[in-house]
Amino acid sequence: MCDHRCFVYEIVKMSGSSNLVAMKKIVQQLRFEASINRVKVSQAAADLQQFCMQNALQDPLLTGVSSSTNPFRPQKVCSFL
């Protein structure tokens, strides 16, 4: 009888222990995430915008690439003279 009760008790404790372990991991991860340094969105957005502007001229899809330099655009037809 006592064995049976202990058996059931141990089942309950078993799930408790594995929850405990999982919970500790979650809390550790949250502590880590809470500690990172963040910048304001206005600052981050300004940096994203600056990167776009600085690299706009090197972006072929923005500047448009002529047929002669874009290998995929249709080439002028060659004709034999």
In the complex, the residues that contact another protein under the rule CB under 8 A are: 3, 6-7, 9-11, 13-14, 16-21, 23-24, 26-27, 29-34, 36, 38-49, 51-56, 58-62, 65, 69-74
Separation in Å, CA 46 to CA 36, 54, 56, 63:
21, 12, 15, 22
CB of residue 12 to another protein, shortest distance in Å: 9
Contact 73, 67 (CB under 8 A): yes
1 vs 41 by CB, closer to another protein: 41
22 vs 81 by CB, closer to another protein: 22
Task: Name all contacts of 63-69 with Cβ < 8 Å and 24+ positions apart.
Answer: none
